[in-house]
Structure 1
Amino acid sequence: MTAVRDVAAPPRPPALPRLPRLSRLPRLPRSGRVADALACGTYLAAALLLYRGLWAGGPAGRYLVDSGQDQRQWEWFFAVTARAVAHGENPLTTTLQNHPDGVNLMANTSMPGLSIPLAPITWLFGPSATWAVVLTLGLAATAAAWYYLISRHLVASRPAAALGGAFCAFAPPMVSHANAHPNLAVLFVLPLIIDRLIRVAGGRRPIRDGVLLGLLTTYQIFLGEEALLLAATGIALFAPTYACVAPGAARAALPHLARGVGVGAALCGVLVAYPLWWQFTGPQSYTNLLHGPAGNDLAALTAYADRSLAGDIDVSARLSMNRTEENAFFGWPLLVLAVAITVALWRTALTKALAAVLVGAALFSLGPEIIVDGEATGIFGPWKLLGQLPLYESVLESRFTMVCVPVLGILLALGAQAAGRAGDRRIRLLWFVVVVQALLPLLPQPLATAPREPTPAFFADGTWRRFTGPGRAIVTVPLPDPGDARALTWQVDAGLGFPLAEGYFVGPFGPDRLGGYGAVTRATSQLLREVRDGGVVPEVSDADRAQARADLAFWRADAVVLGPHDRQEALRGTLDRLLGPGVPIGGVWLWDVRAGGAAGAG
């Protein structure tokens, strides 16, 4: 077999076998540059169309409906990181949530690789603008990066590469995470890492390429460690399969890989040593994040996602955790097409290795026990063993179908090129019809948005400053948690001028420091959550009042604030019984709990 070569490089020793006649691609002509620009422009237009509701009227006034509370959390991450940069503070930690214990930002998905360099956007236009920019440009950049990898190493046809790149960024799992999880949707660095691995294997400049590999891997760690783990698992499935079917190429590449990857790993290890130490052993670190069984239902592989053109909300709701975790939903026509492409191109080592990744990742995604249309089969999947390993125990196993996304995109590109080279027009026509049938139902609809709720004037106009001293917290009711994080937006709109009690983040629970969502609740916050959920004012005892005073002292609170809420009357009645009568001010109810405060003295 021939070798994988860089499009602009002269011939070099064989590295990774590829399809025939693709190892000596010419230097990129002007027409190729035009094609590249057209592809990237199309990807950006597609991303803008996907997020048109977010940009309409300005991101500050719109909210992605299916993001739940995650958009509030991400905007808070962007805001608090920008504040840390502006004040020269440690961007890996903060006490602005979960006061006074704080939050380990490195142990959360704060994406410092983007939140730090984009801090000027946050300063000038606010975190909602940063959120919109990250999602829109990030998704377009992800498509462009996969297009670059496919066009430079796998196919000569620019249209075929463009098709593959588009699928890699706009496939149903990607669109699902594009509602709420930029760490799993903004993946433009991963194709660049793979590109550098291929170059290292080629052996032309393994040390230089190894250094770049280390820098790219470091950057990806600051964008999303889970995505890097998923990609590394896919590479771990690809490499041994490739070595088995192309042992000669593997032996030729091994010395170069040993040198280049060794250099990259050493460099990356030095650069991330302190941040990872902080993440795993620093304040508010945790050991692992346990989710429980979260595998894909086998039926989800052939179904359609809610936001796909052929989606059915009832089906997707039944087969997924929520709209941000529709991690399969490829539709049966695409899977049949992928099998057909694999069979047609089975002679190549690349196709065989891709098939191994596709099957392996899909099996991992099914979880410890195979579920078919909601029914347990009693058949154990490979995740039962893999999920026990360090790091993997913190991953939602259903997300392993995201490893399948670029594999399917590459297979589509390979199939498109093979069909385009076919001499028989009937084959090209058949390919066009089949691809349309497979991909048209998967086309994403624009993501749903809604107007934001206005921030109460108490926070927006600075009234809060009259009731809170430096370093003292405001207790918002209900206290922020994964179910209701509106207080994070109020705090951001107040300029992050005060810390909040509790919050929405990942932190440690119990003596074993197991990771969980939100803060360790105290008795008073738990009581208020029960009122929020049930709408009933409870009997309040002297012991409850004493506990409330103790909890407020722990939080170092100067004020308790009840904002607009569906259960406002029940919550207000409970707080009146706990703290005395509150006063209305700036669109909220206030209990001034400072010594000698004007409200809440009873």
Structure 2
Amino acid sequence: MGGPTGKHARVSGGGPGAPEGRDGADAETVGRTVPTVTLSVVVPAYNEEARLRPTLDAVRAHLGADPGRWGEWELIVVDDGSSDGTVAIAEAVAAEEPRVRVVRSPGNHGKGHALRLGVLASYGRRVLLTDADLATPIEELDRLDKQLNEQLGGRDGERDAEQHTGDGPDDGPGAAIGSRAHPDARIEVRQWALREWLGRLGNRLIQAVAVDGIADTQCGFKLFDGAQARAAFAASRLDGWGIDVEILRYFRRAGWPVTEVPVRWAHQPGSKVRPLDYGRVLLELVRLKAGRSRSARWARRAPGLRPVDLTVTVLFVLAALVLYKGLWNDLGHSYLADSGSDQNQWEWFFAVTADNVRHLHNPLFTTFQNFPDGVNLMANTVMLGLSVPLTPVTLAFGPTVTWAVVLTFGLAATATAWYWLFARWLVRNRWAAALGAALAAFAPPMMSHANAHPNFLVLFMIPVIIDRALRLCEAGAGPGGEAGAGGENGAPNRVARDGVLLGLFMTYQIFLGEEPLLLAVMGMLLFALAYAFQRRDVAKASIRPLLRGLGYALQVCLPLLAFPLYWQFFGPQSYHSVLHGDNAGNSPLSFLHFSGRALFGTEAAADPLAMNRTEQNAFYGWPLIALSVGLGVWLWRLAVVRALAFTAVVAALLSLGPKVRIPFTDVVLTGPWRILAHQPLFESVIESRVAMICAPALGALLALAADRLGDVEVVPGRTERLVGLMALAAALIPIIPTPMPVRERPDVPAFIADGTYRSYVSPGESVVPVPLPDSGEAEALHWQSASGLGFSVPGGYFNGPWGPDRMGIYGASPRFTSNWLREVRNTGQVPPIGPGQQAQARFDLAFWKAGVVVLAPQPNDAALYETVEKLLGEPGRRVDGVWIWDLPASGAASASRPSGGS
């Protein structure tokens, strides 16, 4: 990704090594140079029809007279909205000389604006600025160039070209500026006396306000280190005459040397500089200083924040609150309708973590579920990174409040993190960044998981990890990702710091969700490979600091994660991989349809194309897909767009699974996921989720498009901008998420809520719900979390091992009694029960160390009652709204294994 860019302009003509489609201030080119271009000459021009041709001819003649010295050069003419024949003259010269390029601004914005466009469009290792009237003859370039060579330690031009490529700002040569105030300067044609006096007065005032020690800031003849000039002009804000002072002040603050060099100068008739312009410069500087003071005040309040940042964050929070308004309206009785048993499971996760923290128990294991074997919490998605710090909330207000807080504010935090990443690395326009972030965080796949899977919704660390990886790459590259800004050796401390932070961030993400991190790494690798293939120079400069940083990250991660990961993969109740079946890939049609939670979508249309309503992992909708293709074609010249397109397309193809059925046919093809399907780590991934990688990729593409549509110099026509914005709206409005539906949650039976169960359960015994909780129905977990985890239950909804190969399954290993009770609840039919079945039930109850069997009101509860009564050989008792069977400890524990049963 490139950094914030300058304003855009139309460019004609070519230059040595110019990449295809280069734009005057493109995110791919700001601050970047091609080492073969030795010198760029930038000439701003506004209504210079009478003087431009002789100036261009003189510059070409001087540079061409000594090819060995100047090597490859380019001459950039920047037209600042001229109304005469300036452009025609410049383009005629460009037609004669391929090293001449014309940059056109759509309007007259001032000399500063024109210089910014020209410098940001340049490639030169050095950049010369000269006025169109050549008041300072081009031959004076030799003096300025000699001064820069001396600042490099006396190295000659050839050695300088070898050792200082100018690919990124460093502590190199700085600037040599022409000075008419130097004692050795030669003024060949003077201005009027009053004009000279006003000029000297203006210069003194400018020195006092901004750049003390520079006698002549306004001479238009200046030679800069190329990379430093591009960095300074990219950060500039002034469009008028004051840009000279702004740039020199930038150099001073960066510690780059600025030397005045005496030059010959002759006043030219028709000069556009007026004595009062010095006053305008002072006004610009005062306004610039005032604006920075306001920014500084904001920075003191909140580092790096702007008012728009706070506004965007508040909007994201409000959007999340609207989505979950049904849950917040009645936290005691509202249940997310499409969450299946997941809300019960997650509330239980939050409750058991808080209980472990409060009692200083091992947070990686519990026996409250799957009693007596227990549950390996590290091998489940308990999100210790949030459930542990939110323990006070859980203990004070209950796990349902924690559940609502995590979903709502985690979603808003994720959107804000994407916004911050896009604003920092991708676009200048903050609202464009907000639009892209909204798609990345609120895309249809994310909203599907918003029903039940906070580990796939709360992803605020992923943008933070991407940012730190980009910072490591930037240690070997300049602003915007260009190669050579100091390199690895220039910032070893920074590489170490960023590597350590990356290790800490990845460690924290492990405790938020491992599968989302794996998918994020997949997306980052796809993007990096595609970008590196196109920009080998950037890849070459970035690879060493990135690898070093990753080395530091591993040194941080491994000690912190060694024990938790050992526990996850080798501890009690660990497993090897999770079975998801052969139908876990996306249908190609799902990318074109709308999800059930989209404004234009329906569950009836979406359900047949997804595993369930929490796994609608594509469903971007045909308008967004069509728009993305169009935006890709429009912005294809940008390497970042090509990399984003590659990432999205490959992720979409992988998400189709190992077998891809061609819609409306019986043709089944082998999908690319087959290569990864049985590899370690990937074998537990639900492959349709890989399509979630497309969300931030499409969000970044949308941000880039909105950023350019908002720039009148990229899309100057009002009609074109309006059409573009309408296209964005047409693609996004259909997939706007609707509020999450809720249903009434069953009350916890009074037998549990009032604590009556305690009279029937001794220490070391469990409460056996009928049927046992599993992934299909886990209301018993709600009983536990709502009553303070006062008892354990067999069975449950978790990931655990099954069989001799310890294959991962959802829930406990099935047993005779749990299977029978589940079957009766589903069918309402009571199976034949004889002595063998009764003996098996007694054996299972003894294994579960059952203290009491509890049957709460539910569908088919009459058939369940009859089944339990026959299995236990005695009627139940009605206590506090439930049927119970009290099992004396001696009776349950003394049962022997039956010879029959299954």
Contact preservation (8 Å) 2:598, 2:737: yes
Change (3 A) 1:394 1:376: farther
Describe how 1:185-224 pairs up with structure 2 within 5 A.
Answer: 185-203=457-475, 204=491, 205-224=494-513
Contact preservation (8 Å) 1:6, 1:153: no
User: What's the counterpart of residue 115 of structure 2?
Assistant: none
Q: Is residue 2:355 matched to residue 1:78?
A: no
Q: Is residue 2:595 matched to residue 1:305?
A: yes
Change (3 A) 1:467 1:302: same
Question: How far apart in 2 are the matches of 1:84 and 1:553?
Answer: 27
User: What's the counterpart of residue 516 of structure 1?
Assistant: 809
Question: How far apart in 2 are the matches of 1:391 and 1:6?
Answer: 40
Contact preservation (8 Å) 1:509, 1:520: yes
Of 319, 322, 326 in structure 1, the residue corresponding to residue 609 of structure 2 is 319
Cα shift at 1:20: 4.3
Of 447, 452, 466 in structure 2, the residue corresponding to residue 180 of structure 1 is 452
Question: How far apart in 2 are the matches of 1:517 and 1:376?
Answer: 32
Cα shift at 1:370: 1.8
Contact preservation (8 Å) 1:6, 1:152: no
User: What's the counterpart of residue 584 of structure 1?
Assistant: 878
**CA deviations over 1:239-265 (Å, ceiling 9, x no partner):** 111111000111111111011111012
Question: How far apart in 2 are the matches of 1:218 and 1:248?
Answer: 31
**CA deviations over 1:74-123 (Å, ceiling 9, x no partner):** 00000000000000000101001000000001101111000000011100
Cα shift at 1:158: 0.5
Question: How far apart in 2 are the matches of 1:382 and 1:531?
Answer: 42
Q: Give secondary structure in 1 for the equivalent of 2:369.
A: coil
Q: Give secondary structure in 2 for the equivalent of 1:413.
A: helix
Of 735, 744, 748 in structure 2, the residue corresponding to residue 442 of structure 1 is 735
Stretches of structure 1 that go unaligned for 5 or more consecutive residues are: 8-16
Percent identity, aligned pairs only, is 52
Q: Is residue 2:31 matched to residue 1:19?
A: no
Change (3 A) 1:365 1:593: same
Q: Which amino acid aligns with 1:412?
A: L
User: What's the counterpart of residue 633 of structure 2?
Assistant: 343
Q: Give secondary structure in 2 for the equivalent of 1:559.
A: strand
Q: Which amino acid aligns with 2:358?
A: A
User: What's the counterpart of residue 532 of structure 2?
Assistant: 243
Q: Give secondary structure in 2 for the equivalent of 1:311.
A: coil
Question: How far apart in 1 are the matches of 2:5 and 2:549?
Answer: 17
Q: Which amino acid aligns with 2:882?
A: V
User: What's the counterpart of residue 264 of structure 1?
Assistant: 553
Of 565, 571, 583 in structure 2, the residue corresponding to residue 276 of structure 1 is 565
Contact preservation (8 Å) 2:353, 2:391: yes
Q: Is residue 2:695 matched to residue 1:405?
A: yes
Question: How far apart in 2 are the matches of 1:236 and 1:578?
Answer: 57
Question: How far apart in 2 are the matches of 1:225 and 1:36?
Answer: 29
Q: Is residue 2:121 matched to residue 1:112?
A: no
Q: Is residue 2:662 matched to residue 1:390?
A: no
Question: How far apart in 2 are the matches of 1:396 and 1:513?
Answer: 19
**CA deviations over 1:571-595 (Å, ceiling 9, x no partner):** 1111111211110001110100115
Of 476, 481, 486 in structure 1, the residue corresponding to residue 774 of structure 2 is 481
Of 471, 479, 495 in structure 1, the residue corresponding to residue 788 of structure 2 is 495
User: What's the counterpart of residue 264 of structure 2?
Assistant: none
Question: How far apart in 2 are the matches of 1:499 and 1:276?
Answer: 26
Question: How far apart in 1 are the matches of 2:618 and 2:404?
Answer: 25
Q: Which amino acid aligns with 2:472?
A: V
Q: Which amino acid aligns with 2:878?
A: P
**CA deviations over 1:419-475 (Å, ceiling 9, x no partner):** 112211122101111011100000111000112110100000000000001121011
User: What's the counterpart of residue 540 of structure 1?
Assistant: 833
Cα shift at 1:562: 0.6
Greater CA drift, 447-456 or 21-30: 21-30
Q: Is residue 2:581 matched to residue 1:287?
A: no
Q: Is residue 2:316 matched to residue 1:43?
A: yes
Cα shift at 1:388: 2.1
Change (3 A) 1:374 1:233: farther
User: What's the counterpart of residue 11 of structure 1?
Assistant: none
Cα shift at 1:18: 3.8
Q: Give secondary structure in 1 for the equivalent of 2:338.
A: helix
Q: Give secondary structure in 2 for the equivalent of 1:66.
A: coil
Contact preservation (8 Å) 2:854, 2:885: yes
Of 588, 591, 594 in structure 1, the residue corresponding to residue 888 of structure 2 is 594
Q: Give secondary structure in 2 for the equivalent of 1:257.
A: helix
Question: How far apart in 1 are the matches of 2:831 and 2:655?
Answer: 44
Change (3 A) 1:444 1:5: closer
Q: Which amino acid aligns with 2:316?
A: Y
User: What's the counterpart of residue 866 of structure 2?
Assistant: 573
Question: How far apart in 2 are the matches of 1:202 and 1:98?
Answer: 49
More helix by share: 1
Contact preservation (8 Å) 1:365, 1:398: yes
Question: How far apart in 2 are the matches of 1:74 and 1:89?
Answer: 19
Of 501, 521, 524 in structure 2, the residue corresponding to residue 232 of structure 1 is 521
Change (3 A) 1:366 1:374: farther
Contact preservation (8 Å) 2:398, 2:786: no
Stretches of structure 2 that go unaligned for 5 or more consecutive residues are: 7-25, 32-230, 237-291, 300-304, 476-490, 896-902
Greater CA drift, 338-347 or 408-417: 338-347
Question: How far apart in 2 are the matches of 1:188 and 1:359?
Answer: 24
Cα shift at 1:534: 1.6
Q: Which amino acid aligns with 1:19?
A: E
User: What's the counterpart of residue 856 of structure 2?
Assistant: 563
Q: Which amino acid aligns with 1:144?
A: T
Greater CA drift, 373-382 or 238-247: 373-382
Change (3 A) 1:595 1:472: closer
Q: Give secondary structure in 1 for the equivalent of 2:332.
A: helix
Question: How far apart in 1 are the matches of 2:577 and 2:398?
Answer: 33
Question: How far apart in 2 are the matches of 1:169 and 1:376?
Answer: 36
Q: Give secondary structure in 2 for the equivalent of 1:423.
A: coil
Question: How far apart in 2 are the matches of 1:382 and 1:548?
Answer: 47
Of 755, 764, 788 in structure 2, the residue corresponding to residue 462 of structure 1 is 755
Contact preservation (8 Å) 1:4, 1:202: no
Which consecutive aligned stretches of 4+ in structure 1 deviate over 3 angstroms post-superposition? 2-7, 17-32, 372-376, 595-598
Contact preservation (8 Å) 2:5, 2:428: no
Cα shift at 1:596: 7.5
Of 416, 419, 427 in structure 2, the residue corresponding to residue 147 of structure 1 is 419
Question: How far apart in 1 are the matches of 2:668 and 2:781?
Answer: 43
Greater CA drift, 453-462 or 532-541: 532-541
TM-score w.r.t. length of structure 2: 0.64
Higher RCO structure (Cα 8 Å, ≥6 apart): 1
Contact preservation (8 Å) 1:319, 1:374: no
Change (3 A) 1:595 1:85: closer
Change (3 A) 1:127 1:6: farther
Cα shift at 1:3: 6.0
Question: How far apart in 2 are the matches of 1:312 and 1:528?
Answer: 35
Q: Give secondary structure in 1 for the equivalent of 2:532.
A: helix
Change (3 A) 1:52 1:400: same
Cα shift at 1:348: 1.7
Contact preservation (8 Å) 1:100, 1:555: yes
Change (3 A) 1:3 1:181: closer
Count, aligned residues: 588
Cα shift at 1:538: 2.2
User: What's the counterpart of residue 13 of structure 1?
Assistant: none
State which structure, 1 or 2, has the greater radius of gyration over its C-alpha atoms.
2
Cα shift at 1:340: 1.4
User: What's the counterpart of residue 410 of structure 2?
Assistant: 138
